Amino acid sequence: MPYYRCSIVTTSGKKSSIIKEASSEQELISSFNNTEHILIKYSHINEAAILRSKKNYNRNIVLEFTEIMTSLLKSGLTIQDAISMCCTVTANSKTEWLSKSILRALQNGLPLHEALKMHAPSFSPLYQSLVKLGEQTGSVAAVFQRLSMYLRNEKKIRGKVGNVLWYPVIILCVALGGSIGIITFILPRMAEIFEAFVAGSDQETVMEMARVYRSVWVTFSVFLFIAASAVGAVFFRKFSAKFAYLTDYLLIRIPFFSGYIKSIQTMDFSFAMEMLTGAGINVHTALKETSSVVRNRAYARAISEVHTILLKGEQLSDAFSLFKEFPPYISTWIAVGERTGAVEPVFSQIREYFQSDVERMSERLMNLLEPCIILIVGILVLLMIVQFALPLFSLYGRLV
């Protein structure tokens, strides 16, 4: 939806400016009806400019903010008072800046979920949607408590992966740095030395040296192209919805890794469904909401298709069984819930199962990643020996 910069006046006569999201100008104007703010003027803002102007905060800052808000809201404070106190109790300057920014948005009349949206992607769609749900149902404190547990668990898994990857990544970087040094400094000097020795009398040796030089450059260019393609794909995902969907579709079909990715997406999906259904929202509406918070687009589209099939009167378990994006475990447990007449509690069991499944698969993945990266480093070293060291020894034998 488009963004608008709005100049407003409060009933006390104070002027201020806020950024508000609305599907149309009519919706924007009507959103100020029955409020204490009077809209003076507004102007459309390019969404790309909004995204560039956002200050991103890392996961640790978001986690700290969430944990502080959990403690303050549990003590009975209102949302605005809790955020105001969060500005003073935190010892982290970035958390203080984030809290003050959200507080200003609340003081300008924005609800909390819209204030958080202005700091996306620091706050994920799942985070924003659950806070919006909490505001609608009056259970913001419970939502922040659950989000705090969810973010802590995510940090624990991410920390384990980081600890395992730290040493192999350093080795890989050193190997790549050494390869660049060989190509840019050693090879040119070796070429000059060989040319000086042969003094133009042995053109075959000169041509062999040129072939070595060219072969190393080709190999390095291939690795550089692969790295550039990977980085380019990450950036292109942000600008092309079709390309993002295609890559997400492929990710959940890659052997071995697909199971891990499906488990993560299912954990997020079941967590959102557990929160929504637990707040009294029916399964139909909850499915529609969760399709917008799942990060994998192919998985999200499958949820939308399940919602469409459910509206046609089909069983929920049958709808889930039609799509390979979902693990078979989901349809099995939902079928059990349908037979017992209690589908909503099933999502808590699904979330607990896949949370433990993600932790177990993370351990297995970490045990495999370290030797895989070391193997990549070994391949790089082997290529350098085959393409650089062995030909140079052969040329040296000719000179001797």
Same domain flag for 216 and 286: yes
Same domain flag for 37 and 161: no
Output the six-digit token pair for 3: 């963004």
- Last residue of some domain: 96, 118, 152? 152
Query: What is the share, in percent, of the chain residues with pLDDT greater than 70?
Result: 81
141/151 Cα distance (integer angstroms): 15
Same domain flag for 194 and 222: yes
Interior/surface letters 253-262, b for 16+ CB within 10 angstroms, e for the rest = eeeeeeebbb
Q: What are phi and psi of 280, to 5 degrees?
A: 95, 5
Same domain flag for 286 and 345: yes
Q: Is the pLDDT of residue 106 over 60?
A: yes
Output the six-digit token pair for 244: 């993002």
CB atoms within 10 A of CB 93: 8
Question: Which CATH number goes with the domain that contains 360?
Answer: 1.20.81.30
pLDDT at 65: 92
Q: Which of 114-128, 209-223, 269-283 has the lowest mean pLDDT?
A: 209-223
Same domain flag for 254 and 173: yes
CA distances from 163 to 14, 39, 158, 167, 312 (A): 52, 52, 9, 8, 48
Average pLDDT in the chain: 79
Contact 248, 234 (CB under 8 A): no
For residues 166-171, average pLDDT? 71
CB atoms within 10 A of CB 81: 14
Contact 290, 272 (CB under 8 A): yes
Q: How many domains would you assign to the chain?
A: 3
249/299 Cα distance (integer angstroms): 8
10/44 Cα distance (integer angstroms): 21
pLDDT at 393: 65
Q: Which of 96, 95, 118 is nearest to 106 (CA)?
A: 118
pLDDT at 258: 82
Same domain flag for 165 and 248: yes
CA distances from 318 to 48, 214, 303, 308, 310 (A): 41, 59, 13, 13, 9
Contact 1, 23 (CB under 8 A): yes
Q: Which of 27, 32, 41 is nearest to 11 (CA)?
A: 32
Using only C-alpha atoms, the chain has a radius of gyration, in whole angstroms, of 28
Q: Sign of torsion, CA 304 308 310 314?
A: negative
Contact 52, 58 (CB under 8 A): no
What SS3 state is found at 6? strand
User: Domain span at residue 16?
Assistant: 3-53
Q: Sign of torsion, CA 274 276 279 280?
A: negative
Instruction: Give the DSSP H or E segment for 18.
Output: strand 15-21
pLDDT at 53: 44
Q: Is the pLDDT of residue 309 over 80?
A: yes
Q: Is the pLDDT of residue 47 over 70?
A: no
Assign residue 177 a region: left if phi > 0, alpha if psi is -120 to 50, beta otherwise? alpha
Same domain flag for 361 and 396: yes
Q: Is the pLDDT of residue 119 over 70?
A: yes
- Last residue of some domain: 123, 152, 181? 152
Output the six-digit token pair for 312: 């046609």
For residues 154-165, average pLDDT? 71
Q: Which residues contact 374 (CB under 8 A, 6 or more apart)?
A: 168, 171
Same domain flag for 10 and 67: no
Cα 82 to the center of its chain, rounded Å: 28
Say how many residues make up the chain. 400
Q: Which of 59-68, 99-108, 195-204, 242-251 has the lowest mean pLDDT?
A: 195-204
Q: Which of 205, 152, 217 is nearest to 179 (CA)?
A: 217
Highest mean pLDDT among 27-41, 43-57, 164-178, 259-273: 259-273
Same domain flag for 290 and 235: yes
Same domain flag for 264 and 381: yes
Same domain flag for 226 and 365: yes
- Last residue of some domain: 152, 187, 202? 152
**Model confidence over 54-94: pLDDT tens digits?**
556 788 899 999 999 999 998 888 898 999 999 888 888 88
User: Which residue has better confidence, 179 or 202?
Assistant: 179
Q: Which of 3, 101, 100 is nearest to 51 (CA)?
A: 3
Same domain flag for 43 and 136: no
